[in-house]
Amino acid sequence: MKKKVLISTGGSGGHVIPAITIYNHLKNTHETLISTDLRGLAYLDKSYNSVVINTPKLNNYFLMPFSITKILFLTVKSFFLLKKNNISILISTGGYMSLPICLAAKILNIKIFLIEPNMVLGRANKFFLNFSTKLICYSKNIINLPSGIHQKVTTIKPLIRKEYYETSTYNDKDKLFTIIIIGGSQGAKIFDELLNKSFLSIIRQVSIKIIHQTSEKNIDFLRNFYSQNNIESKVFSFDQNLNEILRQGDLCITRAGASSLAELSFLNIPFVAIPLPSSKDNHQYENAKYYKDKGCCWIIDQKDFDDQKFGKFLLELTNKSQDYITKKNNLQKLNYQNTWNNINQKILKIINEN
């Protein structure tokens, strides 16, 4: 009889992408169920066996009594959900949305596996660490890891969606140097406005193509900008086949979410990370630093952004400088033996050995 596994996630891509990747690794060997909040449903199609647990945030002081009451209610709901489905393993990708399901799993003495895709241990994962069987992460040097629990830490290669392993190489040698901008479907002001000045400074000297992800409200503005300045471009908000878009890139300018960087790294695309300054515990900077320390990317602090300096920097990269080539080679070395099957076997070993 197959073991029954519930994978808990929240609504952001940073939580959902590792969750659906784990789901696809386990669906052939385990009975799998995925829980998410209402935001996370946008990432899930009908092929996923899913249930909604819409956990409220706890950062509003005035709504705190209501939020705590709702979390207690959702913990009871989670208790019966786990019991009804005879769940024997809970895998959580962290975040406040994991609180009810992890509390219920602890009460039922269900094995809890925590996944931390960031280079900084999240607060929810830290809270449940003592109750967990294993903490699965991408580096032994994860920040904020308490002392005395290193025996619970196990590492795997970054979780990457299966379609990325099936993405073919883009071989159009005559194409323009293509810069991809990943601001997320919610957009990022610095990517939609400040980068434009840098592009204007280099198009006088070299032809480029821009593929730009932004929010729905900024699509027309950006399309007009690129059109008026005769820059070949594609502007979009959300695309299920992002892997097919990314493979066209020579360079990516991005925030530093763990999943985004892992996917760019796997596709061997050098990237410039501009970490979100407001990310909790500065985890986006630490995510990018992991790759920078391995000679795979560049990091720019948003507050120090200078459009003229950045334009000169981009111009060097469009000429595929030695620095660019080195980064590309280092990415290739970093992803040596990173295959779907290798990751699959490692995950199965981790959850079955205890």
Domain boundaries, the chain: 4-160+338-352, 165-334
Helix (H) or strand (E) holding 221: helix 219-228
pLDDT less than 50: residues of the chain: 61-62, 185-186
What pLDDT is stored for residue 148 in this prediction? Answer: 83
Query: pTM higher than 0.75, yes or no?
Result: yes
What class has domain 4-160+338-352? alpha beta
What pLDDT is stored for residue 185 in this prediction? Answer: 47
227-251-293-265 Cα dihedral, nearest 10 degrees? 120
What pLDDT is stored for residue 233 in this prediction? Answer: 95
Residue with tokens 């070395």, as numbered in its chain: 333
What pLDDT is stored for residue 248 in this prediction? Answer: 93
Assess whether the region 4-160+338-352 and the region 165-334 belong to the same CATH fold: yes
What pLDDT is stored for residue 170 in this prediction? Answer: 74
What pLDDT is stored for residue 354 in this prediction? Answer: 61
Determine whether domain 165-334 maps to CATH 3.40.50.2000: yes
Quick one: which of 47, 122, 45, 91 has its CA closest to 283?
A: 122
What pLDDT is stored for residue 161 in this prediction? Answer: 94
Between helices 64-84 and 99-107, what is the axis angle to 10°? 50
Cα dihedral 188, 193, 198, 199 sign: positive
**Cα–Cα dist 193/168, whole Å:** 32
pLDDT 10s digits, 136-150: 999 999 999 998 888
Contact yes or no for 100/8 (Cβ under 8 A): no
Residue 250's Cβ-side half-sphere holds a number of Cα atoms within 13 Å equal to 22
